[in-house]
Amino acid sequence: MFRENMEADVTFDSDDAGRFDPDTDDAYSSTEEMAVVESPPKIISRGVDVFYGDTQALFGVDIDIRPNEVTALIGPSGCGKSTFLRCLNRMNDIIDGCSVRGSITLDGRDIYAKSVDTVHLRARVGMVFQKPNPFPKSVYDNVAYGPKIHGLATDKDDLDAIVHSSLERAGLLDEVKDRLHEPGTGLSGGQQQRLCIARAIAVEPEVILMDEPCSALDPIATSKIEDLIDEMRNNYTIVIVTHNMQQAARVSQRTAFFHLGKMIEYGHTDTIFTNPNEVRTRDYITGRFG
Amino acid sequence: MTELSTNTPKPRDVSAIVTAGLAKRYAAERRFRAFGIAAIAIAVAFVALLFSSIIGNGYTVFVQTHMRLDVELSADAIDPKGTRDATVLARGDYAGLVKGALRERFADVKKRRDKRKLHGLASQGASYDLRNMVLADPNLIGQRISVWLPVSDDADMLIKGHIPRHTGEGSRRISDKEIAWLDALAEAGDLETQFNVRFFTSGDSREPELAGIWGAVVGSALTLLVTIALAFPSGVATAVYLEEFAPRNRWTDLIEVNINNLAAVPSIVFGLLGLAVFLNFFGMPRSAPVVGGFVLAIMTLPTIIIAGRVALTSVPPSVREAAYGLGASPVQAVFHHVLPLAMPGMLTGAIIGMARALGETAPLLMIGMVAFIVDIPGSFTDPSTVLPVQVYLWADSPERAFMEKTSAAIMVLLAFLIVMNGAAVYLRKKFEVRW
Ligand SMILES: Nc1ncnc2c1ncn2[C@@H]1O[C@H](COP(=O)(O)OP(=O)(O)OP(=O)(O)O)[C@@H](O)[C@H]1O
Ligand SMILES: [Mg+2]
């Protein structure tokens, strides 16, 4: 049944009828000019099962994540969205007793192959966590840490430039330029989250995974981050977990709906929100359960 | 209770229910606070008792009774040939000079037995002091000088009031005649207590008034240096490896059980181990701080490892996730982020271990650090003793004056401990990361 949905995606036409109408329709329409010619998927997941010890958390997840798109993962709490997200940069490896089966490829290469180095993988696939988790170091050191360990900066000036441009792109530079050397943990929650985004993009990853990046933020900070995500789409492939339906509709091009560890439906965000195939998807989106 | 479970829409007066319960809650709080204060008060009382008894017994050690004598530094006794050679000067008959000065002062003492008593008023240290003066300035030879010289331990105890004057002569170590001489000196203003420099600068001695704590302080410092240099790095490394890198399997479980058991092994067992391994097998020197340090390091290692692991587990996992998420390797995640955050906790563990090592006697007895050592150790392999062993040795000596020394040694030990803990607090503050 997932297959069918995916076939349907390929024949998707941006002029598809009946658009979902959230309160702010212009945020939505800005994402309308989507590439009509599909480029090959960046990440392909096939039959991914995840176990925490003996309990299975994910059942045969198949998803194609396309480059330069925002893919939203939605679903009720505990359905396995974070678990799936962590599979994509092998963050599950550091959880005791967590095992992953199935195949996930990045640019056609299996990321769970023996030869793959997780350090290299995580430099290519960055992550922003649900709870802002800056290091208890200065703002500058937070952003500079990734480039430093990967040797991306040739000298101090280069590093300064990377830090500044990352903060700039995360929309944080104006707020912190006078306190670059004060602790990152002293920022407000929203600023911390943008700091974490700046820290992630400073490594110039190809894919950025975001686990409910706005769950702790006020509407203004949220809209800043959404703008940022929309802008980042030009350079990165983004996968975002969100509980906010409007947000999924506003920022994403594709949406996957998870329920009880299974991926129920995956397709263009318009289709999922306006004309889903599955009753459960419709019920969830319209707030009838979840 | 029934009110809580019914579903009746009848509104309840929540405020009244809460108010009714408040008194009880506050009573519980007051009770708890009272228990806490009582516990602290009892603890403080015992500490005060301990301190007052130690300080009461020991504070007099900081001064030493001296008498003023006019000494004729005759060339005959010191340097008959007039060579002014240091080795000759060092061998002069200074004790004879002190005796002569005493006889001159109390010219009416004629009986031989009385003379011997009179000579006994001066400490052996008096002749050492004279010798040092002459060595420092040979021009003094031939002159008559007026110097303050230390009195014997019994005289010192009498002046300090530790020997009662009014009991029968037979039941005290100092005779009526000696008391009379001392009183005569005191009357003439030639007897006074002066700051006891010797106690803080010299090593042990058979003569209580000459015995000092410095040898034991240096011995303890050298031993603890070896201990911390060995135990801290290896303890931290073990904790990091077991907590962050080691796979969880039967072997690591076994190691963990063993470490926990080692923490509870009586310390004397470590002493026996040191005796068998370091002295008998490797043939390392007896009574040496380096061996003491090895033994104490093995003893404190489990404490440091256990505290280190606790400190590592208490680092929030979000820090590790953040580091891994950026592509840090496990070693980078640990050394750049986890370890700095765990450092204060690890230091606390290390300092608890060090404090225990500082107070440890039993294992050191086994490796010969209980010996009577006069010289101040100059290196890690010189024979030496440590503070708690010094306390033990002095407490074991019969002279009344050693009782005073024992208390004073305990005071020095406590001061050492306070300095060490102060350093630990400072380091912890320095490493502490504010969130
Ligand atoms: N470390 C873990 N150990 C054991 N079980 C886990 C672990 N992490 C998640 N799970 C279980 O896996 C399932 C999926 O969890 P996951 O965190 O992926 O949910 P989620 O969709 O992200 O939920 P939410 O929206 O609340 O964040 C849940 O049943 C959860 O209890
Ligand atoms: Mg989650």
Token pair of A278 as six digits: 């599955």
Ligand 1 mean position, distance from CA A243 (Å): 14
Chain segment A237-269, per-residue pLDDT in tens:
999 999 989 999 999 999 999 999 999 999 999
* Mean local confidence (pLDDT), A113-127: 91
- The whole-number pLDDT of residue A38 equals 64
pLDDT value at A106 more than 50: yes
Contacts of A66 by beta carbon, 8 Å cutoff, 6+ apart: A38, A39, A41, A42, A237, A253, A254
pLDDT tens per residue, range B290-346: 999 999 999 999 999 999 999 999 999 899 999 999 999 999 999 999 999 999 889
Task: Please report the pLDDT score of residue B32 as a whole number.
Answer: 96
Q: In whole angstroms, give the CA distance from residue B212 to residue B214.
A: 6
B371 CB-near residues (< 8 Å, 6+ apart): B286, B287, B383, B385
Q: Please work out whether the CB of residue A52 comes within 6 Å of at least one atom of ligand 1.
A: yes
For domain A43-125+199-285, which CATH number applies: 3.40.50.2000, 3.40.50.620, 3.40.50.300, 3.30.70.1400? Answer: 3.40.50.300
For B358-377, write each residue's pLDDT tens digit. 988 889 988 888 888 888 88
A101: confidence class by pLDDT, cuts 50, 70, 90: very high
Q: What is the dihedral of CA A104, A106, A111, A117, to 10 degrees?
A: -160
Spacing, Cα A95 to ligand 1 middle (Å): 12
Tens-place pLDDT, residues A16-29: 333 444 444 444 44
Confidence of residue A66 (pLDDT cuts 50, 70, 90): very high
Q: Is A54 in the pocket of ligand 1 (CB under 6 A)?
A: no
How many Cβ contacts (< 8 angstroms) between chains A and B? 66
Contacting B with CB below 8 Å, chain A residues are: 89, 91, 94, 96, 118-123, 126-127, 129, 131, 133-136, 145-146, 149-150, 183, 185, 196, 199-200, 203
**Which atom in ligand 1 lies closest to the alpha carbon of residue A85?**
18
| Contact list, A183 vs chain B (CB under 8 Å) | 434-435
C-alpha of residue B292 to centroid of ligand 1, in Å: 53
- Check residue B4 and give its pLDDT: 53
Chain A positions touching B243 (Cβ under 8 A) are none
Q: Check residue B161 and give its pLDDT.
A: 81
Half-sphere exposure of B286 (CA within 13 A, CB side): 8
pLDDT band at A6 (very low <50, low <70, confident <90, very high): very low
CB contact under 8 A, A94 and B320: yes
pLDDT in tens, B66-102: 999 888 888 888 888 878 888 888 888 888 888 888 8
The predicted pLDDT at position A247 comes to 92
Which chain A residues are closer than 8 Å to B324 by Cβ? 91, 94, 118, 122
Q: Across the interface, do A127 and B325 touch by the CB < 8 Å criterion?
A: yes
pLDDT classification of A32: cutoffs 50, 70, 90: very low
Q: Whose C-alpha lies nearest to ligand 1, atom 28?
A: A78
Atom of ligand 1 nearest to the CA of A83: 18
For the Cβ of A82 lying below 6 angstroms from any atom of ligand 1, the answer is: yes
Supply the ipTM of this predicted assembly.
0.81
Does residue B275 have a pLDDT over 80? yes
**In sequence order, what DSSP letters do the residues of chain A get, joined into one string?**
-HHHHHHHHHT--TT-SS----S-HHHHHTT----SSPPPPSEEEEEEEEEETTEEEEEEEEEEE-TT-EEEEE-STTSSHHHHHHHHTTGGGGSTTEEEEEEEEETTEETTSTT--HHHHHHHEEEE-SS----SSBHHHHHHHHHHHHT--SSHHHHHHHHHHHHHHTT-HHHHTT-TTSBGGGS-HHHHHHHHHHHHHTT--SEEEEESTTTT--HHHHHHHHHHHHHHTTT-EEEEE-S-HHHHHHH-SEEEEEETTEEEEEEEHHHHHHS-S-HHHHHHHTTS--
Q: Which residue of A has its CA nearest to B325?
A: A127
DSSP H or E stretch at residue B65: strand B63-72
Report the nearest-CA residue for atom 3 of ligand 1.
A52
Tell me the average pLDDT of chain B. Answer: 88
Q: Is the CB of A80 within 6 Å of ligand 1?
A: yes
**Residue A252 Cα to chain centre, angstroms:** 10
Q: Measured between alpha carbons, how far is B274 from B269 in angstroms, rounded to an integer? A: 9
| Residues A192-198, mean pLDDT to the nearest whole number | 91
* Whether the predicted pLDDT of B171 surpasses 90: no
| B226-271: pLDDT as tens digits | 999 999 999 999 999 999 888 888 999 999 999 999 988 999 999 9
- The 10s digit of each residue's pLDDT in B33-74 is 999 999 999 999 999 999 999 888 888 888 889 999 888 888
> pTM (2 decimals)?
0.80
Per-residue pLDDT, averaged over B408-432, amounts to: 87
pLDDT top residue among B2 and B125: B125
Q: Do B325 and A200 touch (CB under 8 A)?
A: yes
Alpha-helical (H) ranges within B59-161 are 75-78, 86-90, 94-105, 112-119, 124-136, 153-160
Q: Which ligand is closest in space to the CA of residue A242?
A: 1
> Which residues from chain B sit within 8 angstroms of residue A97, using beta carbons?
none
